């Protein structure tokens, strides 16, 4: 089901209840929480949940869509002020911070960003735009892809997930990635 499909009123209410329940359950139990728990919290059967969201990643993408949409809009505005390379660095750092909201999302990030929700599409498009700009300036290697950027974000997420100070660790790792580990 695409996000543009018009739903019956009861189906729309169920969808909204599922998304609200997913937010509640994923915030407490993380991205790998039982989908049965989400369905129970929403007051719907598991079949209703799967009819609306065939995979866990579909549900995660829908639950994150508004966050991703706001992130993409803010990233574009920030990159205008910072310039392409600093904008790409800020994009990567904020993407990693944003995806820590649901513990354990790192393992699904690449798949989630490929799902066609408005927020996922906007976030991916903004990352590709920034990457293209930095490559045209010669600041980033031409063989570096958006998929590579998502892999880097995932690796940073996995490294910082259990760190005592994840914000500091994320900033440090993003800086190492963008600026390298060598003194110039």
Condensed to tens digits (0 to 9), the pLDDT of residues 64-87 reads 999 999 999 999 999 999 998 999
**Distance separating alpha carbons of residues 39 and 59, to the nearest angstrom:** 11
CATH 1.10.10.60 range(s) for the chain read 1-54
Closest CA to 103 of 21, 19, 28, 24: 28
Residue 141, token pair as written in the block: 């290697």
**Distance separating alpha carbons of residues 17 and 11, to the nearest angstrom:** 10
Closest CA to 152 of 101, 103, 89: 89
The per-residue pLDDT for range 91-122, each reduced to its tens digit, is 999 999 999 999 999 989 999 999 999 999 99
CATH 1.10.357.10 range(s) for the chain read 56-183
Of the options 1.10.10.60, 1.10.287.130, 3.90.550.10, 3.30.460.80, the CATH number for the domain spanning 1-54: 1.10.10.60
Q: Is residue 103 exposed (0-12), middle (13-18) or buried (19+ Cβ within 10 Å)?
A: middle
**Distance separating alpha carbons of residues 137 and 88, to the nearest angstrom:** 13
The per-residue pLDDT for range 20-70, each reduced to its tens digit, is 999 999 999 999 999 999 999 999 999 999 999 999 999 999 999 999 999
Determine phi and psi for 85, rounding to 5 degrees: -70, -45
SS3 call for 95: helix
Mean pLDDT, the chain, integer = 91
- For residue 88, is pLDDT > 70? yes
- In eight-state DSSP terms, residue 145 is -
Which CATH architecture fits 56-183? Orthogonal Bundle (1.10)
């Amino acid at each position: 089901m695409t996000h543009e499909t018009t739903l019956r009123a009861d189906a729309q209410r169920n969808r909204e209840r599922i998304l609200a329940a997913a937010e509640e359950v994923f915030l407490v139990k993380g991205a790998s929480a039982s989908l049965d728990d989400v369905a129970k919290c929403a007051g719907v059967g598991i079949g209703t949940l799967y009819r609306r969201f065939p995979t866990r990643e579909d549900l995660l993408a829908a639950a994150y869509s508004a966050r991703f949409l706001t992130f993409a809009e803010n990233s574009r505005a920030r990159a205008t002020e910072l310039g392409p390379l600093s904008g790409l660095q800020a994009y990567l750092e904020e993407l990693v911070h944003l995806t820590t909201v649901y513990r354990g999302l790192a393992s699904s990030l690449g798949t989630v960003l490929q799902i066609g929700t408005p927020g996922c599409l906007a976030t991916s498009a903004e990352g590709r735009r920034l990457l293209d700009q930095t490559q045209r300036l010669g600041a980033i290697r031409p063989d570096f892809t958006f998929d590579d950027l998502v892999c880097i974000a995932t690796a940073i997420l996995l490294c910082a997930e259990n760190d005592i100070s994840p914000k500091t660790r994320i900033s440090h790792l993003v800086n190492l990635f963008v600026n390298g580990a060598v003194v110039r």
